[in-house]
Amino acid sequence: MKMKKVMTLCLATVVGMGVLSGCGSTKSEFKQYAKCAEVSDYDGVEYVPASREVTQDKIDEKIDSFCTDNNIETKDYDSAIKDGDDVNINYVETINGQEKNKNDDEAGTSVVIGKDALAPGLDDQMIGLKPGTEKKITITYPDDYSDTTVAGMEAVFDIKINYIKITTTPEYTDDLVKSATDGKYTTTEDYTKYLTDELQKDTDKTADSTDRANVLKAIKEKTTFNQYPEGEIDSYVKSVMDNIESSASQYGIGVPTFLQYFYGYTDESAFVSYLQSTVESVMQEKIVVSSIALEKNLVANDKETDAYKQKLMDDNEVDEDTINSKYSASDLKFYATEEKVLDYLMGTAVQVDSTEASSEDASEDGSTEAESTESTTEAASEAE
């Protein structure tokens, strides 16, 4: 599920960039989108504000992460290897008398016992050995091993155990804080306050983005979209699918396999439907923003667009060339305009608590949106 969410986010971002590219550099081009719907009743939109609470659990996670970032590593030259140990070794692998792989340099190779990172069955035969031991270990690769060049073959590993790496997480103390921050903070109390303040900034920023997105979504949901710029959705979907087909060919696999591996879809038609709905959603956002921007005279001018560009550079700590490589001039103008529109909308929007929102989300017959969807699903099932 997590991978699917990441995929959805990434694809939506790419789709958004593609749909917006080349649009919005002049007011006439904003009009091209604004004419696709009658956007009204956007003042005073109600929304449930996102939580801005920084819990103790979140603070504790930050403290734990800080301690982990300052782990102390030592080398154990005396203990016997056990499952789960992080062991540094040198090795030479030979198959049929021919050298296959090796690491015989001073730095060695780190392996976590039990993960069989080098070869299946190798780690088990290192358990109980001590640093300084040299041993010849023989393993046989399974017939269905992923590396078909060695599948089913016998390999000999000449192993030298260098040491066991011991990782210790330090306690959260004044001394640790002072040392890790080069004296900028000298007590856990001061550093905890810093962590809490940073968490609050991040939480507020995320909440702001969520609130703005929800207000825009609410307007989209009550807008009837009469049309989209002719052929634009089909054109972009075709472009994406052509790129996917090309990429699949480069990997030497078919489109269905590519879609399943990279996007989690086993049905190409379902993916195309998802892609179409994603493009439509982004285009609806473009239409709503364009309509409000024109009606309220909020289209960003060159100075405002430049300021937005500078903000992107500052927030992402990149130079102008990087921004120019990722955004066209029209992209920047639209996003600068969208920021102005969202500022306006948030200035008129009304916060409500979740109880009020739940009540108002109910349909005229008293059912919630989820209940209405369930009824529709049941009706469809009965029809089948």
> Apex CA 256: angle with CA 251 and CA 259, to 5°?
75
What is the CATH classification number for the domain harbouring 101?
3.10.50.40
Same domain? 123 vs 221? no
The tens digit of pLDDT for each residue in 2-36 reads 333 333 334 444 444 444 444 434 577 799 889 99
Residue with tokens 């006439």: 28
Same domain? 43 vs 159? no
The tens digit of pLDDT for each residue in 266-316 reads 999 999 999 999 988 989 999 999 999 999 999 999 999 999 999 999 999
The tens digit of pLDDT for each residue in 122-142 reads 999 999 999 999 999 999 999
Same domain? 229 vs 374? yes
In a domain, 13, yes or no: yes
The tens digit of pLDDT for each residue in 354-376 reads 776 544 443 344 332 333 323 32
In a domain, 187, yes or no: no
The CA dihedral of 289, 292, 297, 299, to the nearest 10 degrees, is 0
- Structural domain count, the chain: 2
pTM of the model: 0.69
Same domain? 316 vs 353? yes
> Apex CA 207: angle with CA 204 and CA 209, to 5°?
110
The tens digit of pLDDT for each residue in 166-176 reads 999 999 999 99
In a domain, 330, yes or no: yes
The tens digit of pLDDT for each residue in 191-207 reads 999 999 999 999 999 99
Same domain? 47 vs 82? no
Same domain? 155 vs 85? yes
The yes-or-no verdict on residue 116 having pLDDT over 80 is yes
Q: Which structural domain range is residue 108 located in?
A: 72-168
| The pLDDT of residue 125 | 96
| The pLDDT of residue 68 | 97
What is the CATH classification number for the domain harbouring 354?
1.10.3120.10
Residue with tokens 């903070």: 185
The CA distance from 240 to 12, in Å, is: 12
Same domain? 79 vs 44? no
Mean pLDDT lowest for which of 59-68, 235-244, 332-341? 235-244
**Contact predicate 111/164, CB 8 Å:** no
Q: Which of 151, 168, 185 is the last residue of a domain?
A: 168
Amino acid letter, residue 163: Y
The tens digit of pLDDT for each residue in 217-254 reads 999 999 999 888 878 888 889 989 999 999 989 988 88
